[in-house]
Amino acid sequence: MIPCELDEWKITKAHSSVVTPAVVRTAKSAGGEEYKACVVYCLLVVKKWFKKQAILEMWDSELHDVRAVACEVIAKMM
């Protein structure tokens, strides 16, 4: 979903053009009816992984940090 470095405010602002309602719907549908809650958990696990990657891969740290923020925003919107 985030192939390049973006400013964090573009993801966290209300009515973001990055984290759109379609993105949230896609994330919600990933677990189906039965495993909806698992998607939120997985997003938070992936957020933690991106934070670790930001430390390990300093050349891409800003990209990983933005991806972590996107995971958090999507998890909150679900």
Confidence of residue 6 (pLDDT cuts 50, 70, 90): confident
Q: How much is the average pLDDT of 42-51?
A: 97
pLDDT mean across residues, the chain: 92
23-38 confidence digits (pLDDT tens): 999 999 998 889 988 9
3-7 long-range contacts, CB within 8 A, separation 24+: 4/63, 5/62, 5/63, 5/66, 6/66
- Highest mean pLDDT out of 2-6, 17-21, 29-33, 40-44: 40-44
Query: Residue ranges per domain, the chain?
Result: 29-77
Band of pLDDT at residue 47, cut at 50, 70 and 90: very high
pLDDT band at 5 (very low <50, low <70, confident <90, very high): confident
